[in-house]
């Protein structure tokens, strides 16, 4: 009898343990932090004790691959929606309209719902619709409304704020921690504009870039200390990631820089273009000029030109209604210039996402994550499903898979094993009875 009771209890306990994460209580909170333009290997030539400690106490991916169109807004929006760029339609950092020739710079787009709200709901809204409280601190897309719904609390990055003010970085963490501990927010997304800014202005292979990585590392240390002070260490999961990498721009005399006007008369052949924006360019040929534009660009060296309907499937861009008929991707390190070389950036992105210089980081720690777990590389489109699992909410339709990341979670893998053990125990129990 004693043995039977014991077996029954054990079997029952195992059945409970076998429940998937999203049926467990209590739900832990989630902080998603993005450091813009953090190339996957930026911590390998700098002393980063705090990031190293995160890998010991949690999960590190060798690297992750951003979606094709390795730019800030498109890539962040893939992370927060789990959708490819062709689906969410945030197809540039600039808001544009090829028909009216409207072009708005990145900072202005941040509060333009028209640019972000294309029928795909980001995580904030999906979580709110399931009863959670969410906030965005400068995160791209957080300042827009989706089907008329706003994020519960959204701070939009103001103009002219320096990207690298460490005091302000810490204040932002203080605010976010009090949102969690005093106002019971479930999800906060926090964005920093570095190391992207330094990567552009100074270049990725510089002492300035190393210095900003040290500053980011101190900020991670500050985050962990502050989490402790707010009693959040056991109830807050943290994901640290980014949107793309950075590469050094090739200049004269090392290479002949690309000036597209040399190959085609832009005024005559194109009615719309964004060509002076790193490694990725778009253009609308004038009526009947599509083949001429395509042929001319095909002759230009150090780039690949695509007609929209011939874009490779794995770019996940082809279905986009917003992208104009012609897309140009420069070879790694070449900037696209339209008429003359205005470009002063020493580093840039927008290049093919298979290039190692475009890969970025993923780290995670907290009560639901395994410790000292090194993940194989994966696509950033999968982060969304992981976040839904952590928040115990039903995801909206998405293009990722939880299977890619669930091994990082404490409960993962174990559930099948415990389920079969409990089944065996129940069988044993019935045999005894």
Active site residues: 72
To Zn ion, the closest distance from the beta carbon of 72 in angstroms equals 6
Give the residue, chosen from 36, 87, 357, 389, that forms a contact with ligand NAG under the rule CB under 6 A.
87
Compute the distance between CA of residue 125 and CA of residue 131 in angstroms, rounded to an integer: 10
Stretch that binds ligand NAG, among 137-145, 212-220, 279-287, 345-353 (CB under 6 A): 137-145
User: Quick one: what does residue 113 bind among Zn ion, ligand NAG, none, with the CB cut-off 5 to 8 Å set by partner type?
Assistant: ligand NAG
| Residues numbered 390-409 forming contacts with ligand NAG, rule: CB under 6 A | 397, 399
Strand partners, 153: 135
- Looking at 150, 341, 421, 428, which residue binds ligand NAG (CB under 6 A)? 150
Sign of the alpha-carbon dihedral angle for 241, 180, 398, 376: positive
Alpha carbon 307 to its chain centroid, in Å, reads: 27
Tell me, what DSSP letter sits at residue 394? P
Nearest to 204 by CA among 317, 349, 96, 321: 349
* Whole-angstrom distance, CA of residue 77 vs CA of residue 110: 12
Longest dimension (CA), the chain: 91
Q: Which does residue 126 bind out of Zn ion, ligand NAG, none, counting CB within 5 to 8 angstroms by kind?
A: none
What are the structure tokens assigned to 332, written together? Answer: 């790694």
Q: Does 113 bind ligand NAG (CB under 6 A)?
A: yes
Which residue, 124 or 272, has its beta carbon nearer to ligand NAG? 124
By C-beta, is 150 or 201 nearer to Zn ion? 201
Nearer to Zn ion, 4 or 356 (CB): 356
Instruction: Write the interaction track for ligand NAG spanning residues 297-326; mark x where CB under 6 A is met and - where it is not.
Output: ----xx-------------x----------
Binds ligand NAG (CB under 6 A): choice among 45, 168, 183, 184: 168
By the rule CB under 6 A, 171 interacts with ligand NAG: yes
Can you tell me whether residue 87 is helix, strand or coil? helix
The C-alpha torsion from 389 through 69 and 34 to 109, rounded to 10°, is: -110
One residue of 18, 90, 94, 144 binding ligand NAG per CB under 6 A: 144
Question: Exposed, middle or buried by CB within 10 Å (0-12, 13-18, 19+), for 86?
Answer: buried
Residue 246 contacts residue 199 (beta carbons within 8 Å)? yes
Stretch that binds ligand NAG, among 93-101, 143-151, 371-379, 409-417 (CB under 6 A): 143-151
* Cβ-based nearer residue to ligand NAG, 397 or 413: 397
* Cβ nearer to ligand NAG, comparing 167 with 431: 167
Specify whether the CB–CB gap between 355 and 76 falls below 8 A.
Answer: no
Q: Which runs of consecutive H residues, i.e. helices, occur in 161-289?
A: 166-183, 196-201, 207-229, 266-269
Residues 243-282, mask of contacts with ligand NAG (x by CB under 6 A):
------------x---------------------------
- Pick one of Zn ion, ligand NAG, none as the site partner of residue 196 (Cβ within 5 to 8 A by kind): Zn ion
> Could you say which of ligand NAG, Zn ion, none residue 181 binds, taking C-beta under 5 to 8 angstroms by partner kind?
ligand NAG
Using CA atoms, how far apart are residues 89 and 318, in angstroms rounded to an integer? 11
Q: Is the dihedral of CA 201, 207, 208, 209 positive or negative?
A: positive
DSSP 91: -
Strand 247-248 to 347-348 pairing: antiparallel
Q: What angle do CA 245, 321, 306 make, to 5 degrees?
A: 60
Cβ partners under 8 Å of residue 83, min gap 6: 77, 120, 381, 384, 398, 399
Q: Kindly identify the residues of this chain, within the stretch 10-69, that bind ligand NAG according to CB under 6 A.
A: none
| Given 131, 158, 160, 162, the residue binding ligand NAG (CB under 6 A) | 162
Residue 72 or 337 with smaller CB distance to Zn ion = 72
- Min dist CB 263 to ligand NAG, Å, is 12
Q: What is the total count of residues that contact ligand NAG (CB under 6 A)?
A: 24
Question: Could you list the residues that contact Zn ion (CB under 5 A)?
Answer: 196
Name the residues that contact ligand NAG, by CB under 6 A. Answer: 83-84, 87, 111, 113, 143-145, 150, 162, 165, 167-168, 171, 181, 230-231, 255, 301-302, 316, 331, 397, 399
């Amino acid at each position: 009898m004693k043995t039977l009771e014991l077996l029954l209890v054990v079997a029952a306990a195992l059945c409970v343990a076998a429940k998937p994460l999203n049926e467990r209580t209590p739900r832990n909170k989630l902080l998603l932090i993005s450091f813009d333009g953090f190339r996957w290997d930026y911590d390998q030539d700098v002393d980063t004790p705090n990031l190293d400690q995160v890998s010991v106490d949690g999960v590190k991916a060798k690297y992750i691959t951003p979606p094709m169109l390795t730019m800030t807004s498109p890539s962040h929006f893939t992370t927060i929606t789990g959708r490819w760029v062709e689906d969410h339609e945030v197809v540039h950092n600039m808001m544009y309209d090829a028909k009216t020739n409207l072009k708005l710079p990145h900072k202005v787009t941040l509060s333009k719902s028209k640019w972000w709200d294309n029928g795909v709901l980001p995580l904030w809204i999906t979580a709110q619709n399931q009863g959670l409280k969410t906030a965005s601190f400068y995160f791209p897309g957080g300042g827009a409304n989706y089907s008329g719904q706003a994020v519960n609390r959204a701070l939009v990055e103001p103009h002219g704020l320096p990207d690298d003010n460490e005091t302000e970085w810490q204040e932002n963490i203080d605010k976010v921690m009090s949102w969690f501990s005093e106002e019971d927010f479930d999800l906060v997304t926090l964005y920093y504009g570095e190391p992207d800014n330094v990567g552009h202005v100074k270049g990725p292979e510089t002492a300035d870039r190393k210095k900003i990585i040290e500053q980011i590392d101190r900020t991670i240390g500050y985050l962990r200390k502050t989490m402790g002070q707010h009693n959040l260490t056991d109830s807050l999961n943290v994901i640290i990631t980014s949107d793309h990498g950075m590469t050094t721009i090739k200049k004269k005399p090392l290479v002949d820089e690309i000036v597209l006007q040399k190959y085609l008369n832009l005024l005559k052949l194109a009615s719309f273009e964004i060509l002076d924006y790193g490694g990725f360019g778009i253009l609308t040929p004038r009526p009947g000029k599509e083949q001429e534009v395509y042929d001319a660009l095909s002759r230009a060296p150090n780039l690949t030109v695509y007609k929209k309907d011939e874009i490779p499937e794995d770019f996940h861009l082809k279905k986009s209604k917003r992208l104009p008929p012609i897309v140009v991707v420069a070879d790694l390190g070449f900037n696209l210039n339209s008429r003359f070389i205005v470009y002063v950036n020493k580093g840039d992105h927008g290049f093919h996402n298979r290039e190692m210089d475009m890969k970025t980081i993923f780290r995670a720690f907290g009560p639901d994550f395994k410790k000292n777990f090194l993940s194989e590389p994966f696509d950033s489109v999968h982060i969304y499903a992981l976040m839904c699992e952590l928040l115990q909410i039903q995801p909206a339709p998405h293009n990722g898979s939880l299977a890619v990341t669930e091994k990082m979670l404490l409960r993962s893998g174990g559930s099948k094993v415990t389920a079969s053990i409990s089944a065996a125990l129940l069988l044993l129990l019935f045999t005894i009875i």
